[in-house]
Structure 1
C-alpha cells in the first residue's frame, strides 16, 4: 500500500508570524493616541478601590488626579533606545478615568504602586445620596 503525502505551501510566508503576535496587537485598546489602562474596581472595607495594571512604568511617570468625582490615572512608558529584533511592548501615554460613587470622600484618598499594579482607594462617607422627589409645577 502506498502512503500519500501532501505538501503544505504557504502563499503568504509571513502569516504564521502574524498569528504568533496576534494577541499582543490587540492586548490594550486605544483611544485616540492614548492607550487605555486596564483596571478593576470594587468596594472593600468602606473604601472604593481601583487597581490599574501599569507594568514596566516607574512611579515618577504615574499621575493620579481626582476632580469633581472623577478619578483619572495617567502614565507614560518611554521606549528604550536600543536596536530591537522584535518589540511587542506598547510605548507612549496611557490614561483611564472612572466616576467615583456618590458617597466618595475626596479628602480621603490613598495610592500605592508595587509590582506593576497601582492601587488607589477612596474612603466612602457612608452617607449615600437618597432619592429626592422634585415637585413638578404646571405653568399657568
Structure 2
C-alpha cells in the first residue's frame, strides 16, 4: 500500500493514509526479557521528552506505560507534508509477578529508547501438592474402600 500512496501520485489525507497503513493501533510495542533477577522492558519512543511525555506507574501487579508524541503543527501546514512517524497517545500494561516493589524499578531514556528495569522478588520454591481425584457414582465408586483418604500428598 505504501507504493500506491508514495509513487502513484495519489494525494491521500494524512489521517486516512495512517489508518489504511495500520498506524491507528493505540498500544506501545515493547521488547521484554529477563537478565538474572531483573525484568527488562524496552520501548522505542523517539522524539519525545521523557520528563513530560511519558508516565510510568505500577498498580494491580501491572506496569503501566503511557506516552504522548505531538506532531509539529508548523510542519503539517507546509506544502507536500508527509509523515510516517507515529503521533498521538499510546499505552501498554505489562503484568508483573506478585511482590514486585516499586522502589526496585528504574526507568532510563537514551537515544530514543525507554528502558525500565524491574527487580524481581525472590521466588521461594513452594512444594508441589498433588490432588487426588475421587470418582463419584458408577461401579468403581461403590467398590471403593469406604472413607475418604488423605487427598493431599
Q: Report the TM-score, using the length of structure 1 for normalisation.
A: 0.68
The size of the alignment, in residue pairs, is 118
- CA-based RMSD of the aligned residues comes to 3.2
Post-superposition offset of 1:19 = 6.4
Structure 1 residue ranges (4+ consecutive) displaced by more than 4 angstroms after TM superposition: 19-22, 131-135
Q: Describe the SS at the equivalent of 2:5.
A: helix
Change (3 A) 1:114 1:93: same
Rounded to whole Å, the distance in 2 between the matches of 1:132 and 1:106 is 29
Post-superposition offset of 1:130 = 3.2
Counterpart of 1:52?
43
- Superposed CA offset, 1:10-65 (max 9, x none): xxxx984426689x923x561xxxx2111011111311111111111111210001
The structure that has the greater radius of gyration is: 2
Counterparts of residues 1-140 of structure 1 (less than 5 Å): 16-18=3-5, 25-26=21-22, 28=23, 30=25, 35-59=26-50, 60-82=52-74, 83-84=77-78, 85-102=81-98, 104-128=100-124, 130=126, 133=129
By percentage of residues, which structure has more strand? 1
Unaligned runs of 5+ in 1: 1-13, 136-140
Unaligned runs of 5+ in 2: 8-16, 132-153
Q: Report the TM-score, using the length of structure 2 for normalisation.
A: 0.63
Residues 71 and 97, structure 1, Cα contact 8 Å, conserved in 2: yes
Change (3 A) 1:16 1:113: closer
